[in-house]
Amino acid sequence: MSPIDSPAVSNRRQWLRHVGGLGLGAAALAAVPEVRLFAQQVQEFIAGPPMPDIAPQQLSQRVWLIYAKDGFPTEANQGMMANVTFVVTKKGVVVLDSGGSLQIGQMAIRMIKKVTSLPVVAVLNSHYHGDHWLGNHAFVEAYGKDLPIYALAHTREQIAGAEGSLWRSLMERWTNQATLGTQVVAPNRTVEHGQVLDFGDTQIRLHHYGRAHTPSDLCMEVVQDKLTYVGDIAMDNRIANMDDGSYVGTFKYYEALQKATGDQLWLPGHGVASRDLLRRYGDFMAGIYEPCLKAVKDAAPVEAARAAVLADPRVASRAKTMQGFDSNIGKYVSLAYLEAEKEAF
């Protein structure tokens, strides 16, 4: 039985027919509390419930963070698993990743308005995993379909293709339809590595150094604030999805990014900002990859590599506190082992 066919809704339909028979007009009906509640419930069947407000935190002169405390989507958190970041510039607000649903994007817009009366003038998407861009729908709804939404070419292609629809469906399933009503809104502007977006008093320099978390991870350096949003190439306390990524590529990306930017406050898509984020997460990733490479060179099986990874201090020290560790470490050891085989031979 669907929610709209439930006994409670059927009773409301009968009640509405009764009220309608009394000759009340639309305005009078709208003033009746029972009607308002029913209308809200029907809307939630179509669009999912509103996302509760999360107060923004100021990280630097220009940069604000709407923090996602959970690393994975659930019905309880309504898909709020990735940070939404915004930069207040002279020309308007620039959003760095828009969140995982229409509802999260709408909440982000409410929070932005608490900080500034300036409009949103641009959105940037770091990569094609839906927890970072499904909120595009809310920003286009609020600021028009011509709102610039920037991404690398490969990210645009993935979101506009099957990957976009897949992620919309996955988020609905993972949240028990809390994100229902979210539409796929792909980026409409292509950017490239080294490009600088000028917003008057603020420049955002864009970085891409090959495959890391995905083939098209875009990092965004807020030049004046010495802060770089790194998306998912590094995480604070969450094990990263490496299905589309590369361990070796991640290490190379870190080296190139640090060389290009110097000392930065590194802000991840999942977790809190810190100045040693790349070092700490890089150590953890090396603790997975290096034992796998050694096992391959020693002709040891993947089971031996997994045991060596779990015993490595760089991994063992974080195993008990890292979100998603137990359910994902086996898979990501296997991926590291496969990559090590390619690198070694």
What is the pLDDT at residue 47?
Answer: 86
Statement to judge: residues 151 and 187 lie in one domain: yes
Statement to judge: residues 114 and 164 lie in one domain: yes
Q: How many domains does the chain have?
A: 3
Q: Is the pLDDT at 193 greater than 50, yes or no?
A: yes
**What CATH number did the domain enclosing 264 receive?**
3.60.15.10
Statement to judge: residues 206 and 138 lie in one domain: yes
Statement to judge: residues 27 and 99 lie in one domain: no
- Tell me: the pLDDT tens digits for 121-138? 999 999 999 999 999 999
- Tell me: the pLDDT tens digits for 50-87? 999 999 999 999 999 999 999 999 999 999 999 999 99
Rounded Cα gap, residues 6 and 8, in angstroms: 5
280 within some domain: no
208 within some domain: yes
Q: Is the pLDDT at 220 greater than 80, yes or no?
A: yes
234 touches 251 (CB < 8 A): no
| Domain membership of residue 323 as a residue range | 286-344
237 within some domain: yes
What is the pLDDT at residue 345?
Answer: 79
Half-sphere exposure of 224 (CA within 13 A, CB side): 15
Query: pTM surpassing 0.75?
Result: yes
What is the pLDDT at residue 33?
Answer: 61
Half-sphere exposure of 66 (CA within 13 A, CB side): 31
Q: Which residue has the tokens 């031996």?
A: 304
Statement to judge: residues 168 and 210 lie in one domain: yes
Mean of the per-residue pLDDT values of the chain: 91
What is the pLDDT at residue 32?
Answer: 61
Statement to judge: residues 185 and 293 lie in one domain: no
Rounded Cα gap, residues 326 and 17, in angstroms: 54
Q: Is the pLDDT at 13 greater than 50, yes or no?
A: no
Statement to judge: residues 142 and 116 lie in one domain: yes
Statement to judge: residues 29 and 62 lie in one domain: no
Lowest mean pLDDT among 33-37, 103-107, 156-160: 33-37
232 within some domain: yes
* DSSP per residue, 174-187: HTTTTTTT------
What is the pLDDT at residue 36?
Answer: 54
- Tell me: the pLDDT tens digits for 236-261? 999 989 999 999 999 999 999 999 99
Statement to judge: residues 68 and 37 lie in one domain: no
52 within some domain: no
